Amino acid sequence: MKVISENRCFGGVQGVYAHESDATACEMTFGLFLPEEAREGPVPLLWYLSGLTCTHENAMVKAGAQGWAAEQGIALVFPDTSPRGEGVADHDDFDMGQGAGFYVNATEAPWAPHFRMWDYVAEDLPDLLARDFALDMERQAITGHSMGGHGALTLAMTYPERYRSVSAFAPICNPTRGDWGRKQLSAYLGEDEAAWRAHDASLLMAEKGFAGPVLVDQGGDDQFLDLLKPETLFEAAARRRQEGSFRIQKGYDHSYFFVSTFMEEHLGFHAEALYA
């Protein structure tokens, strides 16, 4: 693992690191904020998964999360959204290829050799974090924005024993039925739509739900509402009587101004679950 940078931040340290990933077969970069309490021993961990076109850096510098995480004594990890580099497949469209891994394990050419972001977030990066940093991996939670909200919800419902809570900002809720989803799932996973179901938050909510609390915030003036399809997730949660809050925030769009506005509430929500 290479240290790219480490900066003092709210009494803790905001680091950026690179490592060779077995999952993606290339070098990956991630950000990790450790609060001051990590000097004394392991601290709980909140995952933040970013959206289309983002790297590890977007939320790290725009979401305003570190101050609230420091207040709660929680570490934050910011993974990248896809494999990158020479020899890694890419696409001319912004919503495919590098920057658009969709948190799945690709099975189709030319994506399969590197686009294994599900394994990267679920196995590879957690193993590195547990080995090299002062983190309590028995206390994890997960959140994300847009494509990252999709990843957070699907990972949480697949591994409910791992994450104590899950939240999302404007997640892609029903990718098997939307233009942000069908294009990518067919390219990465092939034309058999049965293979897509494991990566659809609305379908997973209907089938299994989540064992802990859920918080979802959606901007009411989000320019991508028709692509995100929040109503499908909200309706599935209501039918399931899922524990949680599913909120439309009037006047807010899809930007990091929206994310940063509600970040304090999301950090407090996760802190309550992580310290229960």
- Are residues 246 and 233 in contact, defined by beta-carbon separation less than 8 angstroms? yes
Q: Write the single-letter amino acid at 72.
A: Q
3-state SS, 89-133, equals CCCCCCCCCCCCCCCCECCCCCCCCCCEHHHHHHHHHHHHHHHHC
Catalytic member of 145, 199, 254, 270: 254
146 catalytic per annotation: yes
Catalytic member of 202, 222, 266, 270: 222
Q: Which residues pair with 145 in a beta bridge?
A: 169
Tokens of 167: 């939240």
254 catalytic per annotation: yes
Catalytic member of 146, 165, 167, 202: 146
266 catalytic per annotation: no
Closest CA to 267 of 58, 119, 64: 64
Where does residue 10 rank: exposed (0-12), middle (13-18), buried (19+ CB within 10 A)? middle
DSSP code at position 19: E
Residues annotated catalytic, as ranges? 146, 222, 254
